[in-house]
């Protein structure tokens, strides 16, 4: 374990950063003391001339500690407005969402007396129609969150809630970037609904942009029961498809590695913005930006270090993102894939245990699904109180179909701007693939045994299984290394040399 972490220092950094953020939510004094300890360690490491990469990690830990304290101070400042009425300018961060008799939206203060600029408020209003990027003049009755909703909203950077007493749009393009993103999302939805069946368009809109507005309650229930909610939350899987398409084009259009890296960066920024900068897409986006930096610098990096670096940077920017469920599931599933699934598949290929290509593809899909499930199962049980019994089968049946549908849709949406005739067949293909995805989700998600309610004991068992899998993999890795060492020693001894020692 220690040797593994030494080779992946950024993964270790991410783990410690996560602990600091969790502790900081409950105890500010503990984080302050932790910060002082980190400063002392930092100077000792400089004096002892420790490797730069470890000094950098200590610096990152200090940055997270400072960020936690700053965030706590901002929350304290924001909640002083509790029970007061504020008036001023606000920017709409999320489109109004209908809840029957009222609408909800997220606003950001931008020239409001009594609130710091940038303070986000989850608001309720009797009227709707606010669009992302609109500037409002509004009067809002402020209230702080109770304990039930505090962690959920703090994880999204929202520290206050409020009832809008009156509001009017003063500028439709107040924040032009947000306004443009809102229009692009609208273009995606309108185009898909104009070229596909309603249910298929609703599903594909959720897959492409993460907008679940058009999904029926019944179908969304089937999605959760089938254990494929991650398909409707734009994350690494979705971003990887689009980045792969752009990388493929970049390799054929640009021979310069810097231009290839810029292609990846611009693609990531665009898709991340389009999907509303959710924590899951941010994690994936930062990973790909680090990957792009590797292309530009002509350096390789381990996937675990890339993941750890992305998590650490996000926690520096928003320390309480650690409590965001989609962020947790995204990170843990990715860790399961890169730390367990990929090494196992690599071992199978190196040892030529299985050489049949089709069988390898099947085993690859199964291992990715199983390890992602094992790593996310404790969080799923703890947060939702149930687990899907059909998740593995459903994911295996639709994973490649989702990639195919997303690829067709992305190409069709771009071509539709210039050559609608060519785009039409791609929409038809997307429609066919999504019909299959909907069919699988409906069939498995509606089964009476699709979910099973679980309590504390299964949660503990899931943790034990997780640690058991990790321990087994480390044991296998050590055994493999020892066999290699033994083989090398035999060769050296035959040639008259001395034995190597295990470190």
Higher local confidence (pLDDT), 444 or 488: 444
- How much is the pLDDT for 43? 84
pLDDT band, very low/low/confident/very high, at 300 (cuts 50, 70, 90): low
Most confident of 7-16, 197-206, 302-311, 461-470: 197-206
Share above pLDDT 90 across residues of the chain, in percent, rounded to a whole number: 21
- Asked whether the predicted pLDDT for residue 237 surpasses 60, the reply is no
| Helices 303-317/279-297 angle, 10° precision | 130
- How much is the pLDDT for 141? 93
85: left (phi over 0), alpha (psi -120 to 50) or beta: beta
Residue 433 CB burial class (10 angstroms; 0-12, 13-18, ≥19) = buried
Average pLDDT (486-495) is: 63
- How much is the pLDDT for 88? 92
pLDDT band, very low/low/confident/very high, at 404 (cuts 50, 70, 90): confident
Which H helix or E strand runs over 59? helix 52-79
- How much is the pLDDT for 16? 92
- Asked whether the predicted pLDDT for residue 364 surpasses 90, the reply is no
Higher local confidence (pLDDT), 425 or 499: 425
Share above pLDDT 70 across residues of the chain, in percent, rounded to a whole number: 81
From CA 273, how far away is CA 351, in angstroms rounded? 43
Is the CA virtual torsion 350, 356, 357, 362 positive or negative?
Answer: negative
- How much is the pLDDT for 208? 82
- Least trusted range by pLDDT, from 169-183, 274-288, 367-381, 440-454: 274-288
Q: Which residues contact 239 (CB under 8 A, 6 or more apart)?
A: 268, 271, 272, 281, 284, 285, 288
From CA 365, how far away is CA 429, in angstroms rounded? 23
Cβ 380 vs Cβ 387: under 8 Å: yes
Question: Model confidence over 238-284: pLDDT tens digits?
Answer: 566 566 666 666 666 666 666 777 777 777 777 766 665 665 666 66
Which H helix or E strand runs over 347? helix 342-350
- How much is the pLDDT for 338? 81
- Asked whether the predicted pLDDT for residue 2 surpasses 70, the reply is no
Average pLDDT (357-380) is: 83
- How much is the pLDDT for 5? 66
Higher local confidence (pLDDT), 228 or 244: 228
C-alpha triplet 402, 248, 360: angle, nearest 5°: 55
pLDDT band, very low/low/confident/very high, at 479 (cuts 50, 70, 90): low
- Least trusted range by pLDDT, from 104-113, 118-127, 149-158, 226-235: 226-235
| Helices 456-494/357-384 angle, 10° precision | 140
Is the CA virtual torsion 272, 327, 231, 178 positive or negative?
Answer: negative
- How much is the pLDDT for 283? 63
Instruction: Collect contacts of 267-270 with beta carbons under 8 A, ≥24 apart.
Output: 267/242, 267/243, 268/239, 268/243, 268/292
Cβ 35 vs Cβ 65: under 8 Å: yes
Average pLDDT (446-468) is: 84
460: left (phi over 0), alpha (psi -120 to 50) or beta: alpha
- Asked whether the predicted pLDDT for residue 1 surpasses 60, the reply is no
- How much is the pLDDT for 503? 47
On average, the pLDDT of the chain sits at 82
Average pLDDT (295-307) is: 70
Cβ 381 vs Cβ 459: under 8 Å: yes
From CA 356, how far away is CA 381, in angstroms rounded? 37
C-alpha triplet 408, 414, 420: angle, nearest 5°: 90
Question: Model confidence over 55-100: pLDDT tens digits?
Answer: 888 899 999 999 999 999 999 999 898 889 999 999 998 888 888 7
Average pLDDT (407-411) is: 85
Which of 11, 156, 144, 162 is closest to 71 using CA atoms? 156
Distances (CA, A) of 136 to 113, 315, 318: 14, 31, 26
Average pLDDT (30-36) is: 90
From CA 47, how far away is CA 49, in angstroms rounded? 5
- How much is the pLDDT for 442? 93
Instruction: Collect contacts of 315-319 with beta carbons under 8 A, ≥24 apart.
Output: 315/14, 315/17, 315/18, 315/21, 315/64, 315/67, 316/17, 316/60, 316/63, 316/64, 316/67, 317/67, 318/71, 318/157, 318/279, 319/20, 319/21, 319/24, 319/64, 319/67, 319/68, 319/71
- How much is the pLDDT for 86? 92
Cβ 142 vs Cβ 84: under 8 Å: yes
Cβ 227 vs Cβ 395: under 8 Å: yes
Question: Model confidence over 128-157: pLDDT tens digits?
Answer: 778 888 899 999 999 998 888 888 899 888
- How much is the pLDDT for 276? 59
Is the CA virtual torsion 28, 34, 35, 36 positive or negative?
Answer: positive
pLDDT band, very low/low/confident/very high, at 399 (cuts 50, 70, 90): confident
Per-state percent for the chain, helix, strand, coil, to nearest 5: 70, 10, 20
Give the predicted TM-score (pTM) of the model: 0.80
- Asked whether the predicted pLDDT for residue 22 surpasses 50, the reply is yes
Q: How far apart are the first and last CA of the chain?
A: 13
From CA 307, how far away is CA 342, in angstroms rounded? 14
- How much is the pLDDT for 502? 47
Average pLDDT (31-50) is: 86
- How much is the pLDDT for 23? 92
């Amino acid at each position: 374990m220690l040797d593994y972490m030494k080779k992946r220092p950024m993964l270790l950094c991410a783990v410690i950063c996560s602990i600091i953020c969790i502790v900081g939510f409950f105890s500010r004094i503990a984080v302050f003391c932790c910060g002082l300890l980190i400063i002392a360690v930092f100077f000792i490491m400089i004096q002892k001339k420790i490797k730069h990469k470890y000094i950098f990690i200590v610096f990152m830990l200090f940055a997270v500690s400072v960020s936690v304290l700053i965030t706590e101070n901002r929350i304290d400042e924001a909640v002083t407005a509790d029970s007061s009425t504020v008036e001023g300018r606000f920017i709409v961060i999320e489109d109004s969402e209908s809840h029957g008799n009222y609408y909800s939206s997220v606003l950001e203060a931008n020239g409001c007396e009594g609130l710091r600029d940038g303070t986000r408020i989850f608001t309720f209003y009797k009227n709707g129609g606010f669009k992302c990027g609109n500037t409002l003049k509004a009067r809002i009755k402020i209230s702080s969150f109770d304990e039930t909703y505090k962690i959920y909203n703090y994880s999204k950077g929202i520290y206050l809630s409020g009832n809008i007493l009156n509001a009017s749009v003063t500028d439709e393009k107040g924040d032009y970037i947000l306004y443009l993103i809102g229009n692009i999302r609208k273009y995606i939805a309108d185009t898909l609904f104009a070229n596909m069946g309603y249910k298929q368009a609703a599903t594909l809109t959720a897959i492409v942009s993460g907008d679940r507005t058009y999904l029926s309650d019944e179908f969304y229930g089937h999605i959760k029961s089938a254990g494929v909610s991650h398909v409707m939350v734009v994350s690494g899987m979705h971003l990887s498809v689009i980045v792969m398409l752009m990388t493929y084009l970049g390799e054929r259009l640009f021979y310069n590695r810097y231009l290839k890296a810029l292609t990846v960066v611009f693609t990531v920024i665009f898709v991340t913005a389009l999907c509303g900068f959710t924590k899951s897409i941010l994690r994936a986006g930062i990973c790909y930006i680090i990957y792009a930096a590797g292309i530009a610098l002509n350096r390789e990096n381990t996937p675990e270090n890339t993941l750890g670096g992305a998590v650490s940077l996000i926690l520096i920017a928003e320390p309480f993102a650690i409590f965001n469920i989609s962020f947790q599931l995204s990170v843990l599933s990715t860790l399961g894939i890169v730390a367990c699934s990929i090494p196992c598949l690599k071992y199978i290929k190196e040892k030529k245990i299985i050489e049949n290509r089709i069988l390898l593809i099947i085993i690859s899909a199964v291992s990715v699904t199983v390890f992602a499930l094992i790593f996310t199962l404790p969080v799923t049980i703890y947060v939702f109180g149930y687990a899907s019994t059909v998740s593995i089968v459903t994911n295996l049946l639709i994973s490649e179909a989702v990639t195919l549908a997303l690829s067709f849709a992305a190409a069709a949406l771009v071509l539709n701007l210039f050559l609608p005739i060519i785009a039409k067949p791609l929409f038809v293909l997307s429609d066919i693939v999504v019909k299959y995805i909907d069919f699988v989700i409906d069939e498995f998600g509606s089964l009476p045994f699709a979910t099973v309610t679980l309590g504390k004991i299964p949660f503990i068992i899931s943790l034990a299984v997780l640690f058991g899998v990790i321990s087994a993999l480390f044991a296998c890795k050590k055994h493999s290394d020892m066999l290699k060492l033994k083989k090398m020693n035999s060769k050296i001894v035959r040639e008259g040399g001395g034995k190597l020692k295990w470190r």
